[in-house]
Structure 1
Amino acid sequence: MLTFVVFVVGLVLVGGLLFLGAALLLGRGETQPPAELDRSPVELPDDRPVTGDDVRALQVSVTVRGYRMTEVDWLLDQLAQTIDERDVEIARLRADLEASPPSVVAEEESPRA
Structure 2
Amino acid sequence: MALVLLYLVVLILLSIVLFGVASMLFGRGEQLPPLPRGTTATMLPASGVTGADVDAVKFTQVLRGYKTSEVDWVLDRLGRELDLLRGQLASARAAAGTDLAAGDGSRGGDPG
What TM-score, normalized by structure 2, do the two folds share?
A: 0.50
Distance 1:43 1:97 in 2: 36
* RCO higher in structure (CA 8 A, sep ≥6): 1
Counterpart position of 2:91: 92
Counterpart position of 1:72: 71
CA RMSD between the two structures:
2.2
Counterpart position of 1:41: 41
Which runs of no fewer than 5 residues in structure 1 stay unpaired? Answer: 1-34, 104-113
CA 1:98–1:74 in structure 2 vs 1: closer, same or farther (change >3 Å)? same
C-alpha displacement of 1:46: 1.9
1:54 aligns with 2:53: yes
Which runs of no fewer than 5 residues in structure 2 stay unpaired? Answer: 1-36, 105-112
Counterpart position of 2:3: none
Moved over 2 A (4+): 63-66
Distance 2:42 2:82 in 1: 17
Partner deviation per Cα, 1:49-107 (whole Å, 9 max, x = no partner): 2111111111112134431011101110111111011101110111111111448xxxx
What TM-score, normalized by structure 1, do the two folds share?
A: 0.50
Percent identity of the aligned residues?
Answer: 33
Q: Secondary structure at the match of 2:46?
A: coil
Distance 2:84 2:42 in 1: 19
Paired positions, count: 66
C-alpha displacement of 1:43: 2.3
Distance 2:57 2:72 in 1: 14
Distance 2:77 2:64 in 1: 24
